[in-house]
Amino acid sequence: MKSPLLIAIILTFVGLIAFIINWNLWEFFNGPMPGYQTLLFPGNLTLEYFWHPIFTEEVTFWPKLLMLMTGQFVVSFVAVYFISKIIR
């Protein structure tokens, strides 16, 4: 149980760093940062298929960032948990 939690925390932190870099360097990259969609895939998955049907797109920045990072953590944790159970 310790390993999935630690990996989910690390992946959430990596996702947050990727989001900050993407947000601040949008003009430098002329669009999204390369690898942004891959690094935040779990969070974007929950934004699109879980949070979006519940809320409209008029959610402000901070709650949407919290939803993104929550999804990043939960999906990462569940994926690593099940993969570790399959491997053992």
- Mean pLDDT for the chain overall: 90
Residues 33-52, mean pLDDT to the nearest whole number = 90
For the chain, the structural domain boundaries read 2-87
Q: How many of the other CB atoms lie within 10 Å of CB of 39?
A: 21
Residues 67-80 as b or e (16 or more Cβ within 10 Å = b): bbbbbbbbbbbeeb
DSSP state of 55: S
- pLDDT at residue number 1: 63
Residue 30, phi-psi category: left (phi > 0), alpha (psi -120 to 50), beta (remainder): left
Q: Given pLDDT bands bounded at 50, 70 and 90, which one contains residue 54?
A: confident
Mean pLDDT confidence for 26-40: 90
- The pLDDT assigned to 18 comes to 94
In tens, the pLDDT along 61-70 reads 899 899 999 9
Mean pLDDT, residues 24-36 taken together: 90
